[in-house]
Structure 1
């Protein structure tokens, strides 16, 4: 059978129960801003908006910020909007600059770190969705897209890490030891 005569299923009908999502992270009071590990993550598109296909998180990473090494069973794409950061993928470091896009395959160990003197802004797309729920469960609500989370003392940091480690498997995530 030639390509022109191959039968393909039709495109499904429009799901009228789903709506257009418009997020305005700097002005919409209903958009959640989550403080986590010194960073601020704003959930602009949740899995509820995409029938679980993906979520979008607007990330504000201050100098020195970024998560510890980890891996998870979902794809993660980062689009760097402002600044530059260091991305470590399977132990190899790369410099990522504004305008760059990187994709982290599912299950690959990685981390990102803002080693510059200016804040970094990036969009994170997780597919399928779910990571936004992890952030909501372990982080704390903050006022705006750039509001820093409260500083944690040593005891609070330990409680946070215990909570994150306990919840990570629920969200198909593994927290790795620092290299």
Structure 2
């Protein structure tokens, strides 16, 4: 995952385990209500059904390795996100309407990928 400054998912949980290893930069994780910063070389494990989210609260892009057990969450990311031209391409510049459409798409598809978004 490439996470631009300010980027990250809303609070959510799912019935599978997830592990993040920070490859570059730093990311602020909130897990069961506790906030921690993970920096390059550090790993955060999220057990199944644990409420969590992360945010790049820093001014540099971050790069994460995300592993889900069992696999399959990558398809959700592909259906919700936007493809970019390559690994160093900037994130797309989306209008407010386009951002809202992505949020609605994520909410609509979440249950299909065993995920519960915990936002109003």
What is the TM-score with the length of structure 1 in the denominator? 0.63
Match of residue 122 from structure 1: 64
Residue aligning to 1:159: 101
SS of corresponding position for 1:140: coil
Aligned-residue RMSD, C-alpha: 1.4
Q: Residue 110 of structure 2 contacts residue 116 of structure 2 at CA under 8 Å; is this kept in 1?
A: yes
Which residue of 78, 82, 102 corresponds with 2:24?
82
Q: How do residues 135-150 of structure 1 correspond to structure 2 at under 5 angstroms?
A: 135-150=77-92
Matches within 5 A, 1:55-94: 59-94=1-36
Give the TM-score normalised by the residue count of structure 2: 0.92
Larger gyration radius, structure 1 or structure 2:
1
Unaligned runs of 5+ in 2: none
Q: Which has the higher contact order (CA 8 A, sep 6+)?
A: 2
Q: Distance in 2 between matches of 1:123 and 1:169?
A: 23
